[in-house]
Structure 1
Amino acid sequence: MNTTQRIPVTLELWMAFERKLYSPPQGQDLSAAERAAIPGCEVLCNGAPGIANLWKTLLLHQTPHLQIVWRAPDGKVHLVAESHVAIPNRLFFCDSLALTLNRQRQLFERAKQRLANVRSPNEFPVIEPARAAGGTSNADVLRFAFRHLREKVVNQFRKRFSRRGHWGIALHSEGSGEAQWWLQIPSPNDRFYADPFPWRDADGRYHLFFEDLPYSTGKGVISHVALDPETKTWDAAPQVVLELPYHLSYPFLFEHEGDVFMIPETSGNRTIEVYRAAPFPSKWEPHATLMKDIVAADTTLLHDNGKWWLFTTIEQGGGPNWDELHLYHASSPFGPWEAHPCNPIVSDCRRARMAGNIFRDANGRLIRPAQDCEREYGAALWFCEITKLSECEYEETPVLVKRAAPERSGLHTWNKAGDITVVDIKMNIYKRARAWMGYSRL
């Protein structure tokens, strides 16, 4: 990406304003991003070259789509590496720019490795770059500044009267006869329930494990309820079954050699940990640590064709941990784990982060649920068909997207056990509103 273009004065002033009021981000040095460049390659942002195109993309609150390309002597443009970069808060230009430039540097490093592993760059797919969208105008900067200030004021009122991102659980039973209707079981107003994982035990009884996060502590624990065998609902209060000094969520469950194990998300401890039921379902004891010194989210295992696969999204260089999916394989669910040569196998904020168990559909396709975090965390669900899975290859194709009903604002975990399907739903609630239970369309 050509970084010699001059930053407009109005944008310089706005960036100075952000640095004055907020903590200055790290990693937005344009020269550092330029030094990572590869001779013969360039970076495109949303299909067009030039740093001004990146500025405009961020000012318009769009998602940066970075592509490292190699231009062949015949004029064809070959795609070497790409990423749809997660921007957690689009209101802050400096933070967004820092994240994007850091990802650009990472992409150049990956591109160098990929170029070294092929006989010719012509082996990479050919793409048709878009034309540059035009320079950044003063009007672009002023609109961005107005939106920033307006949202800051609006958010203060929202925080006073409502909770955005309040999660609850919805459940559907195949025997209910109403395919479109789900039993909504919202969490109380002082906490939220999310990341539901159902489990059917050897006696055919259903259990539900989920993240339970009290707003007073801001630290998640893992809670459990037993579902009524007839109604597939619960009446008893959830019981905490796993609590640690650090945050827990996403209680992925699996069975191995007669025991039931759980891999809760423990990114706050910079680990991936395994717990064994002793006994199921009320007590869990430490069993193994799969990885250390890693900020990984929503780790999910798959046992397929005699091999264990570990999918997890990993924080890279201080960015969010929901836009780059990594894959590992082993002969045992407890490792040792070997990294896939194509890591990250998905670099896309729209479908990287795991959203539940990988499963086979009615047609035998291997489906990976994924979170769409492009506009906001947990906005929707994608279902991706895994078409190639081996120690040296990985490919998938998005086949279906599931968005929340208009009165909801997101979905981000989808799981099934027997004839029970569960999903968590995000909603905005008034702080004084009362929780309710009832059927609704998802």
Structure 2
Amino acid sequence: MSWVEGAAGSPYDVHNLPYGVFAHGDVPARIGVRIGEYVLDLDGAEAAGLVLAGGALREPSLNAFMALGQAQWGTVRKRVVELLTDPAHRPAVAPLLHPLAEVDLLMPFAVGDYVDFYSSEQHASNVGQIFRPGEPPLLPNWKHLPIGYHGRAGTVVVSGTPVVRPAGQHSTGDGPGYGPSTRLDIEAEVGFVIGLGSALGDRVPVEDFRAYVFGVVLLNDWSARDLQAWEYRPLGPFLGKSFATSISPWVVPLDALEHAWVPAPEQDPPVLEYLRDEPHLGLDLRLAVDWNGSRVSEPPFAGMYWTPAQQLAHLTVNGASVRAGDLYASGTVSGVRRDQVGSFLELTWGGAEPVALAEGVARSWLADGDTVTISATAAGPDGRTVALGEVTGTVLPARP
């Protein structure tokens, strides 16, 4: 356990150590690692020779460090654990600790490409019933490949960034109308951050997942359902999704989630050879969704039909390359019960069943001023908990 005050036994002790980027007073953006309710300045630690990463920890984003690969990630993590647990290092390290309350958390990495998948069978079935009543809820290809779409990297923002209500075309019943979205929604997801890049034309096999993925963030893929319903046939998500995607400020390294791997749902029919991951494992992450402070859902990530390794293998099977900072998301996380869904589309069944929030307020869709927070935890070593932080956003009115 750490010698840092309040860290020992917390979900942010040395078994976690998520990476982020922060600013402190007049000090510009720099890389840090969270320990308890403090952030350790890794820029300062490398400048002082306390940790070595070839200068990659002295950059204003995680991209250069992530590009160093799995061996360097492990070496730095081991050294940071040593610095934070051995009291002999306390005199040199303590001045580099800053209380979280005194720093601003920034985008942890520069997003290269962004891909969003559609990997929860429960979510896909619910959406199919709502958007295509009377038709089979799952389309014929859904259990043969991880469905996804290529999103807009430039509108991925860090937690706390306000979300302006989008405007666009929607159906009036007689044709298109235009105006601010009236069916604004969220999607509770988990994002995977690429560290090691690949060459154009190469494929990343399922067994190499851990060599390429640096860590995990929480993700809210804000969605304008009225825009989406009008535009998604025949091609799929576009303006209904591209206006904002929020991520948590802390990137939890895969090493911190070593005890959270569990058997993933059985896949029937059998998948093609390039998608067969043995063992077939998913992450037991427990998400929570709070709407204006009211807990409305607790989606279970362990039930996702397609695993993170399968998603990466499919993303690259055509030879598409990946780069440090690329981000791919799981798709909405939904369980079998109504209080386990990851979108308000499902929670209110297309808006027909409003949900009760605090102080007697009922909502079907997001109103201006509403705030949504997604958080998550996972199992750690020796019965401890790993916290993945939270991603939060507040809706602002549409602009003229």
TM-score (norm 2): 0.27
Q: Which has the higher helix share?
A: 2
Q: Which has the larger radius of gyration?
A: 1
- Structure of higher RCO (CA pairs closer than 8 Å, 6+ residues apart): 2
TM-score (norm 1): 0.25
